[in-house]
Chain A
């Protein structure tokens, strides 16, 4: 297996497995015990790491989650909250002594209020499920991770997920008004509500992005927004990263904030085009997809402004989608990027963020690092916010290549930090970036974060072994404790 160290499981707990499972069954009718059932929960989308958990519980109510956590608390059991398991950073990887508490059965819409523009839902609902529930009413839920068909709101809250439309509408933390949280000792707490700006400390903000380490979120009130009158993308090709990056800066500098602003480099364009036949130009170094919203007249006006701006950057191609079909074609290539990539190679999807002005430098650093490790790479990213997604290609069956890919990824993320950016824009730290945390934060910074984690989970039972360097984590089982 690969290089990331995990806490040792508590053998005392493993030895008592049968008794503990029986105890769990007394507080919940929804305990998964059969070996095949348990295997489903052994990994998230960072599939290189796997552990069959001690037990899995799939509760159907907040009260049941509370009973399960109280039992785990009383029996000193470690708990992993889980949504759909699409985390790319190993955030939902269980340890062998862990009870997985999955909220995927709790997927009901509880209330929709259009006057207040909020929806109250159970957090096992998928991201897209929320938008679908209000779509007929002309509304949508704004944060839109590419995994939105599968990932749950709970996972989105825990990871503070983003998506293509975040430049304009913000990420998860900007769209959550209230939540119901079950603390590790079983206490049920409410933060916020269906109104703006709750009083007191910003617990909503602290919970969001806490990677399953603070409590289990079972219900949430989210902001829903009226859909725009229309939206349409335009596609632009450039001969260099400098030109494409300069064009992005100029668009924003001119006061235009597109709803989406996506960037693909030459290898990414080729891979996506081969797969989706979207009609992308193949002779360019960089491609931008710029989507704007509004009425037909507004879209025409904005396209006109963007064209004028782009002229200074020698675009080799500018194509405005004239119809729904053309719009779909432009997006088809971008949206199938991960699938297209998977067809030609195993790959690791990195998630660093850089200041936009360093884009050309960042891209050349990424290729230099990948060349150094002898690995191929394609770059796709949200250009408006500098969130890079280098896709590092490797052969998963070759342990050496796998190891090189991990080190290559680490170097890329360190480069992002050196350029003034950060380690993760949307996928979270999990186990993947845990040991890189010291490149972005010093020990004092991390100790302050650790003290806040301890406020919520004093015994460090929730999602152990993640986010913080192992040697800074208190609690049993850690090799450095």
Chain B
């Protein structure tokens, strides 16, 4: 099963991969690390002679539903893992967001891989309650930049044996090691989902509402605010057609619980406006749209992903809006802002970073043309001390600097 878009090396086994990397290290030949390469259009472009794809390292290697654990080789399509879990009414609780529609690559023949989910620490709306991808990684096998096979952790829920290399590799964008197998914690799928919606709230009230709801004992599992212009892109015509901003709060549990919790939550947040509650099916449809980021355009408008504390989010967006032409949606109760800007020469990187500095926020450029991504800092710049540590960490895994050089920062 050779993925046609990859003209690079597709190892059939961990040993083959290790031998290839050892050779590349010796020859000092940089290599680009890919899952199925669906997101190569995101992030800093890497210029390398070689390319490695994990697309042939596939298959679920362990699944124990009653122990809430699943393991898969890194190149296994995320969709395959999720389909298997679904058969047992389980799920990846961090709800990895699906960026495919964003990058215009809706080709299912090259689906995102499970390895890249952890390599990019990709989480979706449920992150706010259940944690990030990295919080669910129990064990990992990988090949470092020396061509050595390393493993950390295993299949058990709790493990503090030695330095936590699983966290170390999470979110490292293939710059430290190539993961070959990941073991994850899974959770039962909720039997029922209900969504409380309020319409037409200004950003300030919407985020205050989200924070208030997240502070109740009812375990709100997602809190998002989508402005009217972006809501118009949702699959549900009725919702999109309202022409109003949508603020949505999700409850997930056994039906007895969601119903009781929805009633109590509604009482507590009623002061914010009229509350509409939607049931299981339409809820699932709405949150599927959110997971696929359907509220964003599929176009080439520069797209930024900004994290900050919810209490600073609206002030930050207002400050940006005062100077730049933009649209913003707030996930994670306000802690994650998706910002689309009007086209410009440099994705307004300099201005944007200057403005958000006052709000202790961090911005990653998710979508922009290639030339722009080579020219601006895609990931948020690090303070000097942190960059020094990052360079040393890179050297600890990949002393020859051959794995995805420059993918995150020019220095690593």
Binding site for B on A (CB under 8 A): 113-118, 138-139, 159-160, 162, 166-167, 170-171, 173-174, 187, 189-191, 193-206, 208-210, 226-229, 248-250, 252-257, 294-295, 297-298, 301-302, 305, 353-357, 382, 384-387, 420-429, 433, 437, 440-441, 444-446, 448-449, 451-456, 467-468
Whether A250 lies near B163 (C-beta < 8 A) is no
Per the 8 Å Cβ criterion, residues 130-174 of B in contact with A are: 131-132, 134-135, 144, 148-168, 170-172
User: B272 interface residue, CB < 8 Å from A?
Assistant: no
Q: Out of A229, A252, A421, which one reaches B66, CB within 8 Å?
A: A252
Instruction: Tell which of A187, A201, A227, A228 touches B385, judged by Cβ atoms closer than 8 Å.
Output: A187
A103 to B154, CA, bound (A): 33
Is B66's CB under 8 angstroms from A444's CB?
no
CA A206 – CA B364 in complex, angstroms?
Answer: 22
Verify B385–A195 contact, CB threshold 8 A.
no
Q: Is the CB of A446 within 8 A of B379?
A: no
Residue pair A115, B310 in contact (C-beta under 8 Å): yes
From the candidates A195, A204, A422, A426, name the one contacting B361 in the complex (CB within 8 A): A195
Q: Find out whether the CB atom of A422 lies under 8 angstroms from the CB atom of B159.
A: yes
CB distance from A281 to the nearest CB of B (A): 25
Q: Is the CB of A445 within 8 A of B362?
A: no
Q: Which residue of A lies closest to B167 (CB)?
A: A205
- Whether B67 contacts A355 by the Cβ 8 Å rule is yes
What is the total of A-B residue contacts with beta carbons within 8 Å? Answer: 256
Q: Is the CB of A353 within 8 A of B310?
A: no
Q: Is the CB of B162 within 8 A of A115?
A: no
Chain B residues with CB below 8 A from A426, complex form: 158, 160
Assembly CA distance A442 to B188 (angstroms):
34
Closest to B409 in A: A200
Using A189-B386, A199-B379 as known contacts, say yes or no to A448 and B397 having CB atoms under 8 A apart: yes
- Which residue on A lies nearest to B363, using beta carbons? A199
Min CB gap A145→B, angstroms: 12
Rounded to whole Å, the gap between the CB of A381 and the closest CB of chain B is 11
Q: Report yes or no: B123 in contact with A117, Cβ–Cβ below 8 A.
A: no
User: A193 with B360: in contact, given A201-B393, A226-B217 (CB under 8 Å)?
Assistant: yes
Specify which chain B residues have a CB less than 8 angstroms from the CB of A441 in the assembled complex.
151, 161-162
| B58 CB-CB contact with A under 8 Å | no
A205 and chain B: residue at smallest CB distance: B167
- Check B121 for interface membership: any CB of A closer than 8 A: yes
Q: Which residues of B contact A (CB under 8 A)?
A: 64-69, 89, 121, 123, 127-128, 131-132, 134-135, 144, 148-168, 170-172, 176, 187-191, 208, 211, 214-217, 253-254, 256-257, 260-261, 264, 307-311, 332, 335-336, 360-362, 364, 379-380, 382-383, 385-386, 389-390, 392-393, 395-397, 408-409
Cβ–Cβ contact A160 & B214, under 8 A: no
Least CB distance from B135 to A in Å reads 5
CB distance from A208 to the nearest CB of B (A): 7
CB distance from B117 to the nearest CB of A (A): 14
A residues within 8 A CB of B382? 199-200
Contact: A202 with B134, CB < 8 Å? yes
> Is B132 a contact of A197 with CB atoms below 8 Å?
yes
3 nearest CB pairs, A to B: A205-B167, A255-B188, A249-B66
A138–B165 Cα distance when bound, in Å, is 35
Q: A197-B123, A252-B67 are in contact. Are A301 and B168 (CB under 8 A)?
A: no
Determine if A425 and B158 form an interchain contact, defined as CB atoms under 8 angstroms apart.
yes
- Chain B residue numbers with a CB within 8 Å of A424 are 159-161
Additional 4 contacts, C-beta under 8 A, given A113-B309, A115-B211, A209-B160: A204-B167, A226-B216, A386-B156, A387-B158
Q: Which of B69, B159, B166 has the most chain A CB atoms closer than 10 A to its own CB?
A: B159
CB-based contact B154/A201 at 8 Å: no
Bound state CA distance, A198 and B364, in angstroms? 11
A204–B132 Cα distance when bound, in Å, is: 13
CB of B156 within 8 A of CB of A421, answer yes
The answer on a CB contact under 8 Å between A202 and B168 is yes
Report the minimal beta-carbon distance from B408 to chain A, rounded to whole angstroms: 7
What separation, in Å, do the CA atoms of A195 and B151 have in the docked complex?
Answer: 30
Asked if B256 and A196 make an inter-chain contact with CB atoms under 8 angstroms apart, the answer reads: no
* B150–A445 touching, CB < 8 Å: yes
Q: Is the CB of A201 within 8 A of B172?
A: yes
Could you say which residues of chain B place their CB within 8 Å of the CB of A305?
254
